[in-house]
Amino acid sequence: MLVIKTHFDGKKVIIPEETRDLSPREVVLVFRDKDEATSGNKDMIKATESTFAKIWDNNEAAVYDSL
């Protein structure tokens, strides 16, 4: 999973130039209100918690639990 901060101008999502050479992949958009209070990346982390849980909840990834 890759998280990239982008901007929505009201018509399209503006993706940073340095990320345009990435290989094709599925994209999930999370819209946050401008007036919504945030502290750092906590909103992004909260939005992706369930996805990370699915990725890391398996026997192959369990080896990293002891690190």
Summarised one tens digit per residue, pLDDT across range 44-53 is: 777 778 777 7
For residue 31, give Cα distances in angstroms to 21, 47, 55, 61. 23, 10, 23, 30
Q: pTM for the whole thing?
A: 0.40
The arithmetic mean of pLDDT across residues 40-63, rounded, is 73
Q: What is the CA radius of gyration of the chain?
A: 15
Give just the sign of the alpha carbon dihedral 1, 5, 28, 20.
negative
State the alpha helices, DSSP H only, in 1-67: 42-56
From start to end of the chain, where are the E strands? Answer: 7-8, 13-14
The arithmetic mean of pLDDT across residues 26-37, rounded, is 72
